[in-house]
């Protein structure tokens, strides 16, 4: 059955005649039809969010405890509808169903955590400025937030923003990826059931060129919170600069796993494997580079190749699949071009490197796990974000060299360090220029820990208390107590 969606604005569906079709990346079936909106429809969404923020229902002024209740009810409903949401996520994004379920569960966890933060938005009193004055430093919601998210983790990237923006008291207009808008729209319906006032959550679907650009220039939007590629992120930041719109950017990455000879090598192989194949490698913090000590490189790569052979490709609903299809044809062709270029530039293909042509995968965008070794810093594969299941292996001989190699990229989202030596682990982590460092694991995290990038991987943080504060402005209120002496006494009439 094809799912057909309009836009969700001010608590109801708003009919929009033009449609964008989403075909399955696994077998080409038509899955969903989304509204292909323009700036006029966006304007309706912004007006609804503006009204919900500025005067109706007083969402920003509800006690945090009440906003928390709404959020908690939403998390409960998401869990109750997990199977439906997971199926939509799995089909539209092409990810194996068990990973889609994990994503839904993680989204619920983000919401519950943000709900807890709504209780305790911090503030300060400045009480040491004399007997006759008191300073209050308060955190106020930024206003209407435009949320723009990509297709790779549609629900998690959404809730790393939405849950915290709502907890802070902001209202929202969401533009999901045109390829994976289904779950954002389903969530909006659940939010209504959870009791969110109309206009607090609006979803306007469409292309980045139409809806995205209209959002970044819309005077009714106070902040843009964007997740996506670094190229589009720069464009978004430039447009926001025109009106000094606040902007949060979660962008691309080129993470490295550094494996020292004293590591638990079986655990490291496991972490590196997961790090490069999860979500078909379409992950901002994908461990796309392996920096392995020369003394153990041969044996390590052999083990990795051996385990990569056992990765199971599958259609999205296949419960046992480890990897599904890439998101669409042209993205797959881009990944295959990266693979061809790596071979041309002299990297050695250790496994994979091709599109699967056998049934049942012949109608989809399935690319095998691919490992290149002998990768050097002058090769594009060492520098460029591939966003596919492709690992670049480079060797090193000294700790300093490993850190230099890891930092030899314009990105700075994540890195991994594998060693049993605590000094080495800490020294190395400190010198890595990335927002996250995983030690003796990869991709494990918790909602309490901020996530974001150094360098061209972004600006601002999501999750943790930092993630909440992103959606607030700081206000200083200086209160004079008692009688105020005139500042210009000579102007006072005698
Ligand atoms: P894009 O940058 O192409 O798109 C991201 C979102 O921006 C989509 O909703 C897209 O709309 C929209 N968009 C496109 N053009 C514009 C525009 N001119 N103005 C405003 N919005 C626009 O990224 P992808 O969807 O291809 O996602 C992959 C990228 O996302 C990778 O680089 C990845 O590293 C990064 N990413 C970063 C994460 C992080 O937390 N740091 C997490 C996940 C992904 P449309 O619907 O038209 O595509």
Residues acting as catalytic residues:
250, 284
Task: Provide, rounded to the nearest whole percent, the portion of the chain with pLDDT above 90.
Answer: 99
In short, whether 330's Cβ falls inside 6 Å of ligand 1 is no
Q: What confidence tens digit (pLDDT) does each residue in 56-90 have?
A: 878 999 999 999 999 999 999 999 999 999 999 99
Least confidently predicted of 117-121, 352-356, 465-469, 490-494: 490-494
With the C-alpha atoms ordered 217, 218, 220, 226, is the resulting torsion angle positive or negative?
negative
- Contact status, residue 336 vs residue 389, Cβ threshold 8 Å: no
Ligand 1 probe mutation, 106, 208, 330, 462, most atoms within 8 A of CB: 208
State residue 494's pLDDT score. 78
Neighbours of 106 (CB within 10 A): 17
In short, whether 252's Cβ falls inside 6 Å of ligand 1 is yes
Average pLDDT, the chain: 97
pLDDT bin (cut points 50, 70, 90) of residue 157 is very high
State the SS3 of the chain: CCEECCEEECCEEECCCCEEEEECCCCCCEEEEEECCCHHHHHHHHHHHHHHHHCCCCHHHCCHHHHHHHHHHHHHHHHHCHHHHHHHHHHHHCCCHHHHHHHHHHHHHHHHHHHHHHCCCCCEEECCCCCCEEEEEEEEECCEEEEECCCCCHHHHHHHHHHHHHHHCCEEEEECCCCCCHHHHHHHHHHHHCCCCCCCEEECCCCHHHHHHHHHHCCCCCEEEEECCHHHHHHHHHHHHCCCCEEEEECCCCCEEEECCCCCHHHHHHHHHHHHHHHHHCCCCCCCEEEEECCCHHHHHHHHHHHHHCCCECCCCCCCCCECCCCCHHHHHHHHHHHHHHHHCCCEEEECCCECCCCCCCCCCCECCEEEECCCCCCHHHHCCCCCCEEEEEEECCHHHHHHHHHCCCCCCEEEEECCCHHHHHHHHHHCCCCEEEECCCCCCCCCCCECCCHHHEECCECHHHHHHCCEEEEEEEEECCCCCCCCHHHCCC
In short, whether 212's Cβ falls inside 6 Å of ligand 1 is yes
Q: What confidence tens digit (pLDDT) does each residue in 98-124 have?
A: 999 999 999 999 999 999 999 999 999
State residue 57's pLDDT score. 76
pLDDT at 22 over 80: yes
In short, whether 178's Cβ falls inside 6 Å of ligand 1 is yes
pLDDT bin (cut points 50, 70, 90) of residue 224 is very high
State residue 316's pLDDT score. 96
Q: What confidence tens digit (pLDDT) does each residue in 435-473 have?
A: 999 999 999 999 999 999 999 999 999 999 999 999 999
State residue 58's pLDDT score. 84
State residue 287's pLDDT score. 98
Q: What confidence tens digit (pLDDT) does each residue in 191-223 have?
A: 999 999 999 999 999 999 999 999 999 999 999
User: How confident is the model over 275-279, as a mean pLDDT?
Assistant: 98
In short, whether 391's Cβ falls inside 6 Å of ligand 1 is no
State residue 184's pLDDT score. 98
- What is the number of the ligand 1 atom nearest to the C-alpha of 212? 20
Strand partners, 124: 137
Q: What confidence tens digit (pLDDT) does each residue in 416-437 have?
A: 999 999 999 999 999 999 999 9
- What is the number of the ligand 1 atom nearest to the C-alpha of 462? 40
């Amino acid at each position: 059955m094809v799912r057909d969606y309009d836009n969700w604005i001010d608590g109801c569906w708003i009919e929009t005649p033009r449609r964008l079709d989403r075909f399955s990346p696994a077998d080409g079936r038509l899955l969903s039809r989304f509204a292909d909106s323009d700036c006029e429809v966006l304007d309706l969404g912004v007006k609804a969010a503006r009204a919900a923020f500025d005067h109706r229902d007083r969402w920003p002024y509800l006690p945090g405890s009440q906003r928390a209740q709404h959020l908690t009810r939403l998390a409960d409903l998401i869990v109750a509808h997990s199977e439906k949401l997971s199926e939509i996520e799995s089909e539209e994004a092409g990810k194996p169903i068990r990973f889609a379920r994990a994503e839904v569960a993680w989204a619920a966890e983000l919401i519950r955590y943000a709900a807890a933060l709504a209780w305790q938005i911090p503030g300060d009193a400045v009480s040491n400025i004399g007997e006759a004055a008191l300073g209050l430093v308060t955190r106020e919601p930024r206003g209407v937030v435009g949320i723009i998210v990509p297709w790779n983790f549609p629900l998690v990237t959404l809730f790393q923003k939405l849950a915290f923006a709502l907890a802070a008291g902001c209202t929202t207009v969401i533009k999901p990826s045109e390829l994976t808008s289904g779950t954002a729209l389903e969530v909006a319906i659940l939010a209504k059931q959870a009791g969110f006032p109309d206009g607090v959550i609006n979803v306007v679907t469409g292309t980045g060129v139409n809806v995205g650009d209209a959002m970044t220039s819309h005077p009714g939007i106070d902040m843009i919170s964007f997740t996506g590629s670094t190229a589009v992120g720069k464009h978004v930041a430039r447009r926001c600069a025109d009106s000094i719109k606040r902007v949060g950017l979660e962008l691309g990455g080129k993470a490295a796993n550094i494996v020292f000879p004293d590591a638990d090598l079986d655990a490291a192989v496991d972490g590196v494997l997961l790090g490069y194949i999860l979500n078909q490698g379409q992950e901002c913090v994908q461990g796309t580079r392996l920096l392995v000590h020369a003394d153990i490189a041969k044996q390590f790569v052999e083990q990795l190749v051996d385990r990569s052979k056992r990765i199971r490709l599958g259609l999205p609903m296949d419960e046992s699949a480890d990897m599904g299809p890439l998101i669409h044809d042209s993205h797959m062709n881009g990944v295959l071009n990266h693979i061809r270029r790596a071979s041309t530039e002299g990297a050695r293909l250790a496994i994979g490197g091709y599109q699967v042509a056998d049934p049942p995968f012949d109608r989809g965008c399935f690319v095998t796990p691919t490992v290149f070794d002998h990768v050097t810093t002058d090769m594009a594969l060492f520098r460029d974000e591939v966003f596919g299941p492709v690992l670049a292996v480079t060797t090193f001989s000294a700790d300093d060299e490993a850190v230099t190699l890891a930092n030899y990229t314009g990105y700075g989202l994540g890195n991994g360090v594998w060693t049993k030596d605590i000094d080495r682990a800490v020294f190395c982590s400190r010198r890595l220029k990335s927002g996250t460092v995983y030690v003796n694991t990869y991709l494990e995290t918790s909602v309490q820990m901020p996530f974001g990038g150094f360098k061209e991987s972004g600006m601002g943080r999501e999750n943790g208390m930092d993630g909440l504060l992103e959606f607030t402005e700081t206000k200083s209120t200086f209160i004079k107590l008692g009688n105020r002496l005139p500042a210009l006494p000579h102007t006072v009439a005698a």
